[in-house]
Structure 1
Amino acid sequence: MVTEQFDLDESRRRGVRLPRRERRAQLLAAALEVFVAQGYHAAAMDDIAERAGVSKPVLYQHFPGKLELYLAILDSACDAIIANCRSALESTDDNKQRVAAAIDAFYNYVGHDAGAFRLVFESDLTNEPAVRGHVERVTTECADMIAAVIRDDTGLPTAAARLLAVSLVGMAQVSARFWLTDTDGDMAGLSRDQATALVAGLAWRGIRGYPKTDEQHAAEQQDPR
Structure 2
Amino acid sequence: MFASQSYAKVGTADLAKAAGVSEPALYRYFSGKKELFLATLRSTGPKLLEIWQNIASDVDDPLETLWSIGVHYYDNVQSHSGSMKLQFKALSEADDPEIREALREAFGAFVDFVAETLDEGKLRGIVRRDVDSRLVAWQFLSIGLTLDLIHLLGFSSDIDRDGVERWGRGYLETLGTPRGRRGIGPAARTISELVAPQSLVE
Q: TM-score range by the shorter chain?
A: 0.7 to 0.9
Structure 2 partner of 1:102? 69
Q: Deviations over 1:182-201 (max 9, x none)?
A: 32x3x23644x335414312
Paired residues for 1:163-202 under 5 Å: 163-172=135-144, 174-183=145-154, 185=155, 187-188=156-157, 190-191=159-160, 193-194=161-162, 196-202=164-170
For the 8 Å contact 1:179–1:195, the answer to whether it is kept is no
* Residue 136 of structure 1, CA deviation: 2.2
Any residues of structure 2 matched to 1:69-148 within 5 Å, and which? 69-108=36-75, 110-113=77-80, 115-123=82-90, 124-148=92-116
Give the TM-score of the pair, scaled to structure 2.
Answer: 0.73
Q: Measure how far apart 1:139 and its partner are.
A: 2.4
**Inter-partner Cα distance in structure 2 for 1:113 and 1:77:** 10
Q: Number of residues paired by the alignment?
A: 175
Unaligned runs of 5+ in 2: 124-128, 183-202
> 2:107, 2:79 → 1: CA distance?
19
Q: Which residue is equivalent to 1:53?
A: 20
Letter in 2 for 1:50: K
User: Does the CA contact (< 8 Å) of 2:115 and 2:134 recur in 1?
Assistant: yes
CA RMSD of aligned residues (A): 2.7
Query: 90-99 vs 104-113, which deviates more?
Result: 104-113
Shift in Å at residue 126 of structure 1? 1.5
Q: Retained in 1: the 8 A contact 2:3–2:89?
A: no
Cα contact 1:81–1:105 (8 A) shared by 2: no
Q: Contact (CA 8 Å) 1:100, 1:196: kept in 2 or not? A: no
Correspondence for 1:160 among 106, 123, 132: 132
Instruction: Identify the structure with bigger relative contact order (alpha carbons < 8 Å, sequence gap 6+).
Output: 2
C-alpha change, 1:75 and 1:61, in structure 2 (3 Å) is: same
Percent pairwise identity: 21
Counterpart of 1:130, as a letter, is E
CA contact (8 A) 2:7 2:89 kept: no
Considering fraction of residues, name the structure with more helix: 1
Could you tell me how far apart the structure 2 residues matched to 1:120 and 1:170 are?
A: 14
Contact 2:13 2:23 in 1 (8 A): yes
- How high is the TM-score relative to the length of structure 1? 0.67
Deviation at 1:100, TM superposition (A): 1.4
- The residue type equivalent to 2:157 in the other structure is A
| Structure 1 residues 98 and 190: CA distance shift in structure 2, 3 A | same
- CA gap of 1:48–1:101, structure 2 versus 1, over 3 A, is same
2:6 matches 1:39: yes
Of the candidates 24, 28, 32, which is equivalent to residue 65 of structure 1?
A: 32
1:99–1:203 Cα contact (<8 Å) kept: no
